[in-house]
Each structure stands twice: as structure tokens, then as C-alpha cells.
Chain A
Amino acid sequence: MPPRTGGRGPGGRGAGKAGAKGAKGKKVFYRRRKVCKFCADKIDYVDYKDVKLLAGFIPERSKILPRRISGTCARHQRLLQQGIKRARHLALIPFATD
């Protein structure tokens, strides 16, 4: 797939500013197409007890990984968010780390 220019669609933002200031004029940017993990794996129920699954979406600081980075679709991000919050309440996942 060719790199998107000025893409503002899902996952289009934040993936690096395109090389407008490219020194030699032509700079090709490849953006890996982000795919929602849950859609790909056909996971439609996010279990808050499944720490292994949730752990993939909580980086070092223990914040919830934003959609623009993970590429998760809106529906699944919502489910994921709910799952993470439940897991946090039960101390399966930290709220924050420092």
C-alpha cells in the first residue's frame, strides 16, 4: 500500500510528519498500516481477567495505549478501555507506575 499523504483517517495521525522538508526533495515514507488486533484476531469479548491480553495495551507508564498508536478500532478500544479499568480496580493491572 502506498504511503498516505495528509491522511487523517483512522490511525493516520501521529505516525510521523511526512517529509515535506526532505533535503533531496524525494523522501518516501512508509507507514505500516495499523490493524486493529481485536478485529484481526476476532476477539469480540475483552475479558478483564485476561491480563496477558490487556498487558499489550498498557505501556511502561501504565496508561492506556491510545488508538492512534495501537490502531485499535473504536469499538474494540471501547471494550478494551472497559476491560482495563475493571482489571485496575481488582489490582490485576496498575493504575500508574513510576
Chain B
Amino acid sequence: MRTYELVFVVDPRVTDEEVVELTGEYKQMLTGGGLTINREESWGRRKLAYPISKLTEGKYVVLYLSSENGTRTLADVEHRMNQNDKVLRYLSVRTDQDLKRAGKPLIPEPSAETSAPPTAEAVAAPAAREGDRPGREE
């Protein structure tokens, strides 16, 4: 099994609802391509360490993925992100080899949101998820 992490940074002027929508679109592409989403994190608005296209903040979304056999879909999603001006940065990393070497569990604990139906999550989640990740401040 291969596991991946996909992080992307969205323009802060995009509303939270739109971010969830965008994430949903990517998620749909990913699941459609045979990938499983194990966990989703939204860090909300966060200060960038350096300005990107004159913006000093960004909204971070992290997806933890896994697939049984290799996938091409991830590349397609990256391509889509590349085309979208609202996505400032993205990074996808294959993690299974390193995690295995470190003796860590391959699949992270699923977050509460992922188990909730995606439509309900779209409205309720963004605010609730703010405090999701400790140590993200500063």
C-alpha cells in the first residue's frame, strides 16, 4: 500500500465555503481515481513565512491519502491545482516508505470530519476545525 500526503495553500481571499468546495472537488477526483482519504486537516488562515504573489496569509488544507497500487490521479490533481490561481502552493509527498522505516503507523487516525457526511461538513466544519492542529500558531 502506498500512502501520500497532499498539502495545498489557498488564497486567503477565498471564503471558507469555497475552500471546502474546492477541497471537495479534489477529493472527488482522488476517490474517483481509486485513492482513499484517510484524514483531512484544515489549518485555516495561517501566516506565510514569506509573501507569495504579494499575499502574506494563506489557508492550508492537508489530505492524507492511500492507494493499493500506484496512481496517476494525484498528478492530475496537481495539474489542476497548478491551473488554479487560487491555489498558491501545493505539495504531495509519498510517505509510506519513510513511515515504515520509522515504524510509524501508515494510516493516521481519521479526523472527526472525515467520518461526517461531506455535505454537512461543508457548512459546519471550517470554524470547528480551526483548533485542529496544535502548534500551528506562529
Contacts and interface: CB of A to CB of B under 8 A. Distances in A.
B102 A51 contact: no
Contacts of A89: 89, 91
Given A44-B103, A45-B99, A50 B50 contact: no
A12 interface: no
Contacts of B32: none
A44 B99 CA distance: 8
B48 interface: yes
B58 A91 contact: yes
A91 B9 contact: yes
Interface residues of B, number: 23
A63 to B, nearest CB: 14
B109 to A, nearest CB: 15
Contact of B7 (A49, A79, A93, A94): A49
Contacts of B91: 48, 86, 89-90
Interface majority SS on B: helix, strand, loop or mixed? strand
A92 interface: yes
Given A88-B49, A94-B50, A95-B50, A49 B62 contact: yes
Interface in B29-75: 48-50, 52, 58, 60, 62
B117 interface: no
A68 to B, nearest CB: 25
Interface string B60-101: 101000000000000000000000000011010100001101
Nearest to A95: B50
Given A45-B104, A49-B62, A51-B135, A90 B98 contact: no
Given A49-B62, A91-B89, 17 more contacts: A44-B101, A44-B102, A45-B101, A48-B91, A48-B93, A49-B7, A49-B133, A50-B135, A86-B93, A89-B91, A90-B89, A90-B91, A91-B9, A91-B48, A91-B49, A91-B52, A95-B50
